[in-house]
Structure 1
Amino acid sequence: MSTPRTRTRTRKSPQQRSGEIRDAALAIAREDGLSALTLRSVAARAGVASGLVAHYAGSMDELVVHTFRELVASELDEVRVEVALEDDPAARLARMITTVLGSDHDDITLVWVDAWSLGRGSAALAVAIEEQMAAWQAFIAGIILDGRADGSFRTDDAQAVAWQILAMIDGISAHALTRGTDAAPFAVRLAQACETLVGAQPGSIAGLAG
């Protein structure tokens, strides 16, 4: 007579469990936005009880902030890598525009749109939003300053122009997401506007964004 096999349960470390919960939150946010993050949804995705999510995440506010920071910071890192493939400032600006308006960035656009809304009721999220927007502005300003240094751009206020370009990118992306359309066709128009803002030769940026 055979005896039934006893399954050995492996107890996961706090680091493993915490990592699973954070990974579950990242996956949900990519698919459905930050607003979809709840104790129940994260628990279901991670395959644990809601109480464990509360235990390891601290609070949903903390988990939302962490998820936002990780996703949007990762996007900026990816864009930096893409832009670094170009030597010329005009080409780098064009590469940045076409990259961020690509459909494969729609998930992060949704994260941003949700963050702007949820940040009104979360001081911690509002701080994270400001940090990440400032990082994007500094990145764009750096490209503009490089263009000024080599004479291809002529603007006296790279910082303000960078904010304006960032606002246009965010606006186009958010509108396309809301309307269910593609933001990519607007890359050339945005590039043309950027040429005026940075004081570049007509076609020097737009000609590379088509």
Structure 2
Amino acid sequence: MPKKVDHLQRRTLIADALMRVAAERGLEAVSLRHVAAEAGVSAGMVQHYFATKDEMMAFAMAVVRDRGEVRVTAAVTRLGAEPPPRLLIRTFIAALLPLDEQSGDTAKVALAFLAYAAVRPAAAAALRDDTAQLRSFVASLLPGPGADEAAGGLLALMEGLGLYLVSGQYTAEQALAVLDAHLDRLFPG
């Protein structure tokens, strides 16, 4: 009987190896050979699942996005039914911020993907769609006129706080204090 292979599991194993290489050595160190060695598989297996580095990167970017969605969903679900908008936004953003070592590694990879997408229009298009959805969701929770611009500012603040966290300029407590101060201005009283 032939061995049954879970192709999604294999692709995810390779994507996880790519993310470890990127987190430890930077995206420039990501190569078919390095990813195969990190995954403990042959270079031929990596080539079987991903014809090009761009294809491998696109899949890994999708894995990072999906894992972020899982973190956010779990955090928001813990709030119960119909949480107040300010709490929902804070919880959502805090779940995406690199506040611990594991999420810090993911954030380093996500940052590398942003740089990668900056010079690849196809990769950037997927990120634009995600950002538009996030902005629309956050805007729907904000009070008053100018919610769309305020949502854009809040997402930019989140990205900036993420950069400060992964570069060691802010602690988790400092980042959350800045987020809370900004949310206090958006939700007065």
- TM-score normalised to the size of structure 2? 0.80
Match of 2:61 in 1: 68
Number of aligned residues: 181
CA contact (8 A) 1:98 1:184 kept: no
CA contact (8 A) 2:118 2:124 kept: yes
- What is the SS of the residue equivalent to 2:167? helix
Q: Within the alignment, does 1:170 sit opposite 2:168 as a pair?
A: no
Match of 2:89 in 1: 93
Match of 2:111 in 1: 113
Match of 2:6 in 1: 16
Q: Which stretch has the larger CA shift, 49-58 or 163-172? A: 49-58
Query: Unmatched 5+ residue regions in structure 2?
Result: none
Query: Alignment RMSD, CA only?
Result: 2.6
Match of 1:138 in 2: 136
CA contact (8 A) 2:135 2:148 kept: yes
Match of 1:47 in 2: 40
CA contact (8 A) 1:21 1:46 kept: no
- One-letter code aligned to 2:6: Q
Deviation at 1:166, TM superposition (A): 0.6
**Compared CA separation, residues 95 and 61, structure 1 to 2 (3 A):** same
- One-letter code aligned to 2:188: Q
Deviation at 1:128, TM superposition (A): 2.1
Deviation at 1:18, TM superposition (A): 5.9
Match of 2:188 in 1: 201
**Compared CA separation, residues 184 and 124, structure 1 to 2 (3 A):** farther
- Quote the Cα distance in structure 2 between the aligned partners of 1:88 and 1:30: 37
**Compared CA separation, residues 182 and 46, structure 1 to 2 (3 A):** same
Match of 2:172 in 1: 183
Q: Which stretch has the larger CA shift, 55-64 or 72-81? A: 72-81
Query: Unmatched 5+ residue regions in structure 1?
Result: 1-9, 145-152, 203-210
Match of 1:157 in 2: 146
Match of 1:26 in 2: 16
CA contact (8 A) 2:17 2:39 kept: no
- One-letter code aligned to 1:117: A
The structure 1 segments of at least 4 consecutive aligned residues displaced by more than 6 Å after TM superposition are none
- Quote the Cα distance in structure 1 between the aligned partners of 2:66 and 2:177: 26
Deviation at 1:164, TM superposition (A): 0.8
CA contact (8 A) 2:21 2:35 kept: no
- One-letter code aligned to 2:123: L
- One-letter code aligned to 1:141: A
- Quote the Cα distance in structure 2 between the aligned partners of 1:82 and 1:109: 17
Query: Rg: which structure is higher?
Result: 1
- What is the SS of the residue equivalent to 1:179? coil
- Quote the Cα distance in structure 2 between the aligned partners of 1:162 and 1:126: 20
